[in-house]
Amino acid sequence: MEYFIHLAILIGIYIPLAVSLNLVVGYTGLLSVTHAAFYGIGAYATAILMTSFGFSFFPAVLIGIVLAGAIALLLGFILSRFKDDYYALVSFGFNIIIYSILLNWESLTRGPLGIPGIPRPAFFGFELSSNLSFLILTVVGAGIIYLISLGITKSSFGRVLKGIREDEKALSVFGYNTKLFKLTIFIITAGMAGFAGGLFATYITFIDPSTFGLNESIFILAIIILGGMASLRGSVLGAIFLILLPEILRFVGFPTDIAAQMRQMVYGALLVFLMLYRPQGLVGEYKL
């Protein structure tokens, strides 16, 4: 039972990451490859504040959200100068910068040693020490972020984001400040990723820079491409699929000496197959 609860918690952590990135990539059409950086900022801010300064979970994760949003504001001004492939390359570079800071600022982050002993969240003195209680927190958090994202997509703000994706120049002609809209959604989604980072840090109770590298950003991007661009439901399905697929492949009877390699090959082949025959994802409405 604990195994299934663990998987459910991981899915609950990745849903906010996937949903928030889909708002940027799927709905706004901005190919960002830096979501793991904001994920890491939220995780490290929460971990440092709780272990070194005695903060409780909610103030710590709130500061992590604000910090991720503030850094997104600065990065957003830079990214506003670029489009298309150059936008992706600059966001790619930012992820590498954040990873390097986490790895080398040892006096703050402990570098490659990571931060151990991160306490679990507590409510009125009751610590969420069991995975079941933590799952409830994760489901509530993921649900709130999903509802906020749904509200954004259904609002006039969301319609403007789709307009930017389809034809930003035409939208500018009608007087919309498209740079402001892009910057706003970038900040909002960075804060959502920061929240997911806080959940991850307090669930695992240990973090190190390797979790928040470029591969993680690509993995989150793969979730929304697979699940469906410009579809929040697709983001949820993609997170469930890509978290569970490697676990399902563990039970396939591959020979012991090549089991890990075979699982990776099957995993990759399934993704390639889906991208060839469903390039818009499982339930998506937009293709990159």
Give residue-wise pLDDT tens across range 179-197. Answer: 999 999 999 999 999 999 9
> What pLDDT does 174 receive?
86
Residue located via tokens 């002993």: 117
* Paired strand residues for 126: 123
Do the beta carbons of residue 284 and residue 228 sit within 8 Å? yes
Residue 183 in any domain: the answer is: yes
Which of 126-140, 182-196, 236-250 is modeled with the greatest confidence? 182-196
Give the count of alpha carbons within 13 A of 129, CB side only: 4
Residue 230 lies in a domain: yes
Asked whether residue 10 is domain-assigned, the answer is: yes
HEC-encoded secondary structure of 52-84: HCCCCHHHHHHHHHHHHHHHHHHHHHHHCCCCH
Average pLDDT of the chain, as a whole number: 91
Query: Measured between alpha carbons, how far is 78 from 222 in angstroms, rounded to an integer?
Result: 25
Calculate the alpha carbon distances from 48 to 37, 102, 277 in Å: 16, 12, 45
182 is written with which tokens?
């892009």
Asked if the model's pLDDT at residue 254 lies above 70, the reply is no
288 occurs within a structural domain: no
285 is a domain residue: no
Overall average pLDDT of the 270-282 stretch: 76
Mean pLDDT of 255-262: 68
Q: What does the pLDDT look like over 37-62, one tens digit per residue?
A: 999 999 999 999 999 999 999 999 99
What is the C-alpha separation between 26 and 288, in angstroms, rounded? 8
pLDDT at 256: 65
C-alpha–C-alpha distance, residues 47 and 34, integer Å: 20
Tell me the C-alpha distance between 26 and 226, whole Å.
12
Whether residue 260 is predicted with pLDDT greater than 90 in this model: the reply is no
Tell me whether residue 283 is in a domain.
no
Whether 131 is in a domain gets the answer: yes
Number of folded domains that form the chain: 1
Q: What residues contact residue 73 under an 8 Å CB cut-off, 6+ apart? A: 183, 187
List the beta bridge partners of residue 77.
Answer: none
Residue 264: give its domain's CATH number. Answer: 1.10.3470
Q: Is residue 286 a part of any domain in this protein?
A: no
Q: Which residues pair with 286 in a beta bridge?
A: 229
- Residue 123 has φ and ψ, to the nearest 5°, of -120, 115
Q: Which residue has the higher pLDDT, 285 or 158?
A: 158
Determine the structural domain holding residue 240 and report its residue range: 2-277
* Nearby residues of 162 by Cβ (< 8 Å), 6 or more positions away: 27, 28, 230
